[in-house]
Structure 1
Amino acid sequence: MLTRTLFIGLAAGAIAGAVAATVQATLMQPQIVQAEALEASQTMHDAAVHQVDDPSGGHTHPQSEEPSDDPLKRHLGTVIAIVCTAIGYGLILSSVIALSQRRGWRFGLLLGAVGFVSMQLAPALGAPPQPPGLPSYDVHVWQLWWLLAAGCTAAACLLVIDAVQVRRPAGLALCTALALLPHVVRPLFSAMGPLPEAGQLTSAFALSSFATSAVLWLSLGAVVGALHSRALSPS
Structure 2
Amino acid sequence: MSVFRSIVFSAVLAGIAVGITITAVQSIGTIPLIQQAETYEKALGATHGHFMSEAVALESAAPAAANSHHAAEWEPADGFQRTSFTLGANILTAIGFSLLLGGAFTLRRHSVSWRDGMIWGLGGFVVFTVAPGLGLPPELPGMPVAELAARQLWWFSTAAATAAGICLLVFKRQPWAAGLGLALIVIPHLIGAPVVAAAHTDVPAALSHRFVVAVTLTSLVFWVLLGVSTSVAVRRLSNGP
* Alignment TM-score > 0.5, same fold: yes
What is the CA–CA distance in structure 2 between the aligned matches of 1:10 and 1:69, rounded to whole Å?
A: 27
1:1-235 aligned at under 5 Å gives the runs: 1-43=3-45, 63-65=71-73, 67-102=75-110, 103-163=112-172, 167-186=173-192, 189=194, 192-193=195-196, 203-233=209-239
Please state whether the residue corresponding to 1:43 is helix, strand or coil.
coil
TM-superposed deviation, 1:234: 6.2
2:34/2:140 contact within 8 Å kept: yes
**1:202-233 deviation line (CA, Å, top 9, x unaligned):** 81100111111111111001111112222344
Identical amino acids, percent of aligned pairs:
31
Q: CA RMSD in A?
A: 2.4
Q: How many equivalent residue pairs?
A: 209
Over residues 32-72 of structure 1, what are the superposed CA-to-partner deviations in whole Å (9 max), with x where a residue is unaligned? Answer: 0110111001117xxxxxxxxxxxxxxxxx73336444311
Q: Distance in 1 between matches of 2:169 and 2:181?
A: 6
- Is 1:19–1:215's contact at 8 Å kept on the other side of the alignment? no
Q: What is aligned with 1:55? A: none
Shift in CA distance, 234/75, structure 1 to aligned 2, threshold 3 Å: closer
Taking the aligned partners of 1:182 and 1:100, their CA distance within structure 2 comes to 29
How many Å separate the matches in 1 of 2:21 and 2:228?
13
If the length of structure 2 is used for normalisation, what is the TM-score?
0.79
Letter in 2 for 1:140: A
Cα gap change, 1:140 to 1:234, in 2 (>3 Å): closer
**Deviation of 1:77 (Å):** 1.1
Which segment is superposed worse, 225-234 or 134-143?
A: 225-234
Q: TM-score, normalised by structure 1?
A: 0.81
**Structure ID, larger Rg:** 1
Partner residue in 2 for 1:53: none
* Structure 2 unaligned residues grouped into runs of 5+: 47-69, 198-204
Q: Distance in 1 between matches of 2:124 and 2:90?
A: 15
Farther-moved stretch of structure 1 (66-75 vs 204-213): 66-75
